[in-house]
């Protein structure tokens, strides 16, 4: 089935390569087993990461992509088309709702892992722009409320996995487009230290942080997976916090 998934990605030109997708998600879940686990993906897009999790052992996967909240239209239809083509129809639960809507009706501690891939800033985009400011008390409180809902929906020792980019970047600080990631609006992001602080205020405990190395530079990741090299590239990171 994994082979069918890889072929579907290639044939439909959905991802630059199955190897790149696998590389990214292996970095996200390193040392975490998915076998028999329940995974919730927030901001799932077409559901590629959710499908990957199911194919790598997760026994329950729920993907949330709220099309009515400004995301790309038609994602649910694309997901269903893919799931049908690779033999996973009805296996991954794909819902076009926000996390807040889902959490309101699913209060039991039912997930082992929550994945947010390039989505944490979109939960409250206007608030995210101001979170680093001392006077942003209301904005920080909105995120604390969301993180508390995540805490409540996780099982004991459940993990939140966050992939995003930091606010600080060499090119952006010079007011230039980043040649490695020209579409990123760094002013709409925050440093992982701030996200960790907010999560810890809601009962989570810091697990680990790794600065993400671009796929093309993966063979140099032992040199590049640190804050300073990332600052000169795209400032991407993977932050993981555990329900203590």
Residue 69 has pLDDT above 80, yes or no: no
Residue 238 has pLDDT above 70, yes or no: yes
* CATH code of the domain covering residue 189: 3.40.50.150
Give the whole-angstrom CA distance, residue 75 versus residue 65: 8
Instruction: Name residues whose C-beta falls within 8 Å of residue 22's C-beta, 6 or more positions apart in sequence.
Output: 52
Q: What is the pTM of this model?
A: 0.94
Tokens of residue 67, six digits: 């099309």
Report phi then psi at 208, rounded to 5: -165, 165
pLDDT of residue 71: 56
- Structure confidence by residue, pLDDT tens digits, 13-34: 887 788 999 999 999 999 999 9
Beta-bridge partners for 98: none
- Structure confidence by residue, pLDDT tens digits, 138-160: 999 999 999 999 999 999 999 99
- Residues 64/99, Cβ–Cβ less than 8 Å: yes
Confidence category of residue 128, pLDDT binned at 50, 70, 90: very high
- Tell me the average pLDDT across 231-235: 97
Residue 72 has pLDDT above 80, yes or no: no
How buried is 140 (Cβ within 10 angstroms: 0-12 exposed, 13-18 middle, 19+ buried)? Answer: buried
- Alpha carbon 33 to its chain centroid, in Å, reads 17
Instruction: Please give the tally of structural domains in the chain.
Output: 1
pLDDT of residue 148: 96
pLDDT of residue 16: 76
Give the other-Cβ count within 10 Å of 10's Cβ: 12
Bridge-based pairing state of the strands 236-243 and 93-95: unpaired
Closest CA to 195 of 135, 238, 153, 152: 238
pLDDT of residue 55: 95
Give the whole-angstrom CA distance, residue 46 versus residue 73: 10
State the residue range of the domain holding 101: 2-243
pLDDT of residue 224: 94
Give the whole-angstrom CA distance, residue 156 versus residue 190: 27
Give the whole-angstrom CA distance, residue 160 versus residue 243: 8
pLDDT of residue 3: 82
Give the whole-angstrom CA distance, residue 146 versus residue 190: 16
């Amino acid at each position: 089935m994994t082979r069918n998934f890889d072929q579907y990605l290639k044939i439909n030109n959905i991802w630059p390569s199955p190897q790149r997708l696998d590389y990214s998600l292996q970095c996200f879940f390193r040392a975490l087993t998915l076998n028999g686990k329940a995974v919730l993906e927030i901001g799932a897009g077409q559901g590629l990461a959710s499908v990957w999790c199911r194919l790598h052992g997760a026994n329950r996967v729920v993907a949330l992509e709220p099309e009515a909240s400004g995301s790309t239209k038609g994602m649910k239809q694309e997901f269903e088309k893919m799931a049908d083509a690779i033999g996973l129809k009805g296996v991954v639960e794909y819902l076009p709702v926000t996390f807040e809507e889902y959490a309101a009706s699913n209060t039991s501690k039912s997930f082992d892992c929550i994945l947010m891939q390039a989505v944490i800033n979109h939960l409250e985009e206007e608030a995210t722009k101001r979170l680093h400011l001392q006077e942003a008390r209301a904005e920080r409180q909105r995120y604390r409320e969301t993180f508390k809902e995540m805490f409540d929906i996780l099982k004991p020792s459940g993990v939140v996995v966050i992939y995003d980019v930091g606010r600080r970047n060499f090119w952006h600080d010079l007011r230039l487009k980043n040649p490695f990631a020209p579409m990123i609006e760094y002013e709409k992001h925050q440093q992982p230290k701030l996200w960790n602080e907010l999560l810890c205020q809601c009962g989570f405990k810091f697990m680990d942080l790794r600065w993400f190395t671009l796929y093309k530079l993966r063979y140099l990741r032992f040199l590049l997976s640190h804050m300073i090299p990332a600052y000169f590239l795209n400032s991407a990171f993977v932050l993981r916090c555990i329900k203590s």
